[in-house]
Amino acid sequence: MSQYDVVIIGGGPGGYNAAIRAGQLGLKVACVEKRDTLGGTCLNVGCMPSKALLHASELYDAAMGKEFATLGIEVKPKLNLSQMMAQKADSVTQLTKGIEFLFKKNKADWIKGAGKITGPGKVEVTAADGAVQTLEAKNIVIATGSEPTPLPGVTIDQQRIVDSTGALSLPEVPKKLIVVGAGIIGLELGSVWRRLGAEVTVVEFLDRITPGMDSETAKTFQRSLTKQGIVFKLGAKVTGAETSKSGVKLTVEPVAGGEAETLEADYVLVAIGRRPYTEGLGLESVGVTTDKRGVIETDHFKTSAPGVWAIGDAIHGPMLAHKAEEDAVACIELIAGKAGHVDYNLVPSVVYTAPEVAWVGKTEEQLKEAGVAYKAGKFPFTANSRAKINHETDGFAKILADAKTDEILGVHIVGPQAGEMIGEYCVAMAFKAASEDIARTSHPHPTRSEAGRQAAMGVEGWTMQS
């Protein structure tokens, strides 16, 4: 029986980063992963392949539409979907191999197979060929991530009705695609296929898109996506689906009541969220229970069972790869007797569409609800020189600061490269920066980052460029 200081179940961004950090700190560590490759959903069928398709489809759209012609580049592109998929797969392979290298470098063992807790300090691993081995661990870390939430009454067959995994590998560009769910995953994948030529309709139960996003930002974002040809049916629920060899008939009803309608499409993508992947892990063998959604309750990553920890999508908080990574580092450092901490208010969110949307901290709605007096500064990309030169003028940067102390409480950006720009504000807010600190810091010109500086100036009413 192999003995370890730490055994981690799951090799995604939470699990593999936990294994690497444990190795760095001199702990004997094993990571149990049942996929053929490390990296979890994120690397294999999530963040990475979707970004590969978003990037490729943006370039195709730029060449296909007015953008290249406006720049004086006259081309007639031809879509080679199989090559687009091949380069996506190649990039993913390179990344997963990179994690294997990091495991070797940091003396972390990868045990291939499905892990299950069979009692205190014991993890049973069943390999693909059915061979079983038991690992002994002083500490067990559950890092099993999440899976797509199913939609009652709609069967995902990965043929005509797909989840996010299936939508990354459709065999053809749909003539019509219906996306159920106007969250980040649905909008990213919907925008990929829209740019490649599909008619895309998004059906959303709520009366708005992207719940959790600052309301003004979401409205601006929706306008931009509508301009690109995505059709939204908000306040609508899916009540049935009928598949045939050639497509899907979807029955949709208004949430507020009214006539049902039938929508037809070649493919339907169900993207109504994700749920923790915590079933079948043997949690009951150590007395750990989950809530009705499958979330494991923790206190600083400790479960109710001694020596059993949980991180990432399996516990409360945003289901984001970089949040899982923060959890991983903090959890392992606590196990190693160090101080580990995550400030969940400073975990940024990004939507990698065009334009991008990124935010960190509080929304205006949250500040109003909490009764916090705040000031807002806003700057449109139409007035940003770099965005203008690049013909990327959709959106704005908005900074929310405490009315008394001027401390930055939230930042919301919809526009070009928003995901790259938000990091500046994560650092600023970690150091309790005031909006004036940003306003009086020189930013390179001409760059999109100046929009954030101008928004910071706007908090005190001295925006200079608009």
Q: Which residue's structure tokens are 């296929």?
A: 193
- As a whole number of angstroms, the distance between CA 42 and CA 40 comes to 5
Cβ atoms of 39 and 99 closer than 8 Å: yes
Provide the CA 320 distance to its chain's centre, in angstroms: 5
Q: Which residue's structure tokens are 């081995």?
A: 133
- Partner residues linked to 200 by β-bridges: 177
Cβ atoms of 170 and 193 closer than 8 Å: yes
Q: Exposed/middle/buried for 8, CB within 10 Å: 0-12, 13-18, 19+?
A: buried
Beta strands in 215-302 (DSSP E): 231-234, 236-243, 248-254, 261-265, 267-270, 274-276
CA Rg value for the chain: 23
Question: Percentage helix, strand, coil, to 5, in the chain?
Answer: 35, 25, 40
Q: Mind telling me the catalytic residues?
A: 445
Q: Exposed/middle/buried for 59, CB within 10 Å: 0-12, 13-18, 19+?
A: middle
Q: Which of 435, 455, 142 is nearest to 309 (CA)?
A: 142
Cβ atoms of 443 and 449 closer than 8 Å: yes
